[in-house]
């Protein structure tokens, strides 16, 4: 007997989907997936951390429209009824959000509320991209969705962490009090093609440094851990969650955990060169460890990540 296929946007009727942050790394992959599935997509971005080249990929597509706007000031969409508002706009790399702390707080707060209002007005679903950063520097390992976190509310990462915690809170409030059909995902470190080379996150830094023959910039002693997810796995999880009425947060991440020194070894294997490391001070409030508990995603959308770090790096950088 064939297994019942898990519902996803691939099998749904054509949808009209508005995506904030469409010129960013994750947003651009969502645009691509939904257009390929026959849906209509409206992208919105102000390029604070995105790339015009990510919009150019779809500019001529007959089912894609782009609106250049800061969603913290409003989402100027006046078109036909939407089925989904997907709120992915926010600087996400620590150097970016620390360069724009007020804008990051605003897009998590005002931007999220503007998205919720738009979804409410269209009786559309609202999908929030939250983050593993809501767990802060976690005292529980791995991190299940039930963990409330350990966040410094005034530290250098607070503009991002507290913005996302507020975004989750207001999303639940609109669900509970106004009946909006919401989803919340907590994304763990994700990488893939179309990240900005100067993004500043560890995978892009290490790969580009290794390709240029430069030493890799390890912060601290490199014993801190992260768990890296390939973009295709994330997009598959998002697509499945849209089809399941589940409103509490869901972790989407790959539980394979690496120290930064182990990541150096993997990069060395992929690039094939001998790489050297140069050590810098650990940034303030840098979480010591991070690994998603993914039982909830397994249970409700039958999802597990399929791409290993080695495979994903080869695929992302064509190595």
Point out which residues bind ligand UDP (CB under 6 A).
94, 189, 201-202, 205, 217-219, 224, 226, 260, 283, 286
Residue positions counted in the chain: 319
CB under 5 to 8 A by kind: which of ligand UDP, ligand NAD, none does 187 bind?
ligand NAD
Q: DSSP label at 212?
A: T
Residue (38 or 193) nearer to ligand UDP, CB: 193
Q: Which two structure tokens, joined as six digits, stand for 312? A: 């994903």
Nearest-approach distance from CB 304 to ligand UDP, in angstroms: 21
Residue (114 or 229) nearer to ligand UDP, CB: 229
Residue tagged active-site, from 47, 135, 147, 160 = 160
Q: How far is residue 131's CA from residue 26's CA, in Å, rounded to a whole number?
A: 13
DSSP letter string over 78-111?
-SSPPSEEEE--S--SHHHHHHSHHHHHHHHHHH
Q: Which two structure tokens, joined as six digits, stand for 297? A: 């995603």
Strands 257-259 and 225-227: antiparallel
Residue (9 or 253) nearer to ligand NAD, CB: 253
Q: DSSP label at 225?
A: E
Nearest-approach distance from CB 307 to ligand NAD, in angstroms: 14
Binding residues vs ligand NAD (CB under 6 A): 20-21, 23-27, 44-50, 70-72, 88-92, 107, 111, 129, 131, 187, 189-190
* Residue 160: active-site member: yes
Residue (97 or 221) nearer to ligand NAD, CB: 97
CB under 5 to 8 A by kind: which of ligand NAD, ligand UDP, none does 113 bind?
none
Residue (107 or 264) nearer to ligand NAD, CB: 107
Residue (113 or 229) nearer to ligand UDP, CB: 229
Longest Cα–Cα distance in the chain: 57
Handedness of CA 279, 280, 283, 284 (dihedral sign): positive
Query: In DSSP terms, which residues pair with 68 in a beta bridge?
Result: 45
Q: Are 166 and 159 in contact (CB under 8 A)?
A: no
Q: DSSP label at 288?
A: S
* Nearby residues of 89 by Cβ (< 8 Å), 6 or more positions away: 20, 21, 24, 27, 44, 45, 46, 71, 107, 111
Nearest-approach distance from CB 268 to ligand UDP, in angstroms: 15
CB under 5 to 8 A by kind: which of ligand NAD, ligand UDP, none does 210 bind?
none
CB under 5 to 8 A by kind: which of ligand NAD, ligand UDP, none does 227 bind?
none
Which of 298, 285, 288, 239 shows the shortest CA–CA distance to 260? 288
Alpha carbon dihedral 253, 285, 29, 314, in 10-degree steps, equals -70
Nearest-approach distance from CB 292 to ligand UDP, in angstroms: 12
Rounded to the nearest 5°, which phi and psi values hold at 180? Answer: -70, 140
Nearest-approach distance from CB 316 to ligand UDP, in angstroms: 14
CB under 5 to 8 A by kind: which of ligand NAD, ligand UDP, none does 205 bind?
ligand UDP
Nearest-approach distance from CB 290 to ligand UDP, in angstroms: 6
CB under 5 to 8 A by kind: which of ligand NAD, ligand UDP, none does 158 bind?
none
The catalytic site residues sit at: 160
């Amino acid at each position: 007997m064939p297994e019942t296929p898990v519902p996803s946007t691939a099998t749904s009727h054509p949808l009209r989907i508005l995506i904030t942050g469409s010129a960013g790394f994750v947003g651009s992959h969502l645009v691509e997936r939904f257009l390929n599935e026959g849906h209509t997509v409206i992208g919105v971005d102000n390029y604070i951390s995105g790339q015009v080249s990510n919009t150019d990929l779809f500019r001529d597509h007959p089912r894609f429209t782009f609106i250049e706007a800061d969603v913290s000031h409003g989402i100027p969409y006046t078109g036909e009824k939407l089925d989904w508002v997907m709120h992915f706009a926010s600087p996400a790399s620590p150097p970016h959000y620390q360069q724009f702390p007020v804008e990051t707080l605003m897009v998590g707060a005002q931007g999220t509320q503007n998205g919720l209002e738009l979804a409410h007005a269209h009786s559309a679903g609202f999908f929030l991209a939250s983050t593993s950063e809501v767990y802060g520097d976690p005292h529980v390992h791995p991190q299940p969705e039930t963990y409330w976190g350990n966040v410094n509310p005034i530290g250098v990462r607070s503009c991002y962490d507290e913005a996302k915690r507020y975004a989750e809170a207001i999303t639940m409030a609109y669900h509970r009090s106004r009946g909006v059909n919401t989803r919340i995902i907590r994304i763990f470190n994700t990488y893939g093609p179309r990240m900005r080379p100067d993004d500043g996150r560890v995978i892009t830094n290490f790969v580009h440094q290794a390709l240029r023959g430069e030493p890799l910039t390890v912060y601290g002693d490199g014993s801190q851990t992260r768990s890296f997810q390939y973009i295709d796995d994330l997009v598959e999880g998002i697509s499945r969650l849209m089809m399941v009425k589940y409103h509490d947060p869901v972790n989407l991440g790959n539980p394979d955990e690496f120290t930064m020194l182990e990541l150096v070894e993997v990069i060395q294997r992929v690039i094939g060169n001998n790489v050297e490391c140069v050590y810098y001070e650990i940034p303030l409030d840098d979480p010591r460890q991070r690994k998603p508990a993914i039982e909830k995603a397994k249970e409700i959308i039958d999802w597990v990540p399929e791409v290993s770090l080695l495979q994903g790096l080869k695929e992302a950088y064509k190595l």
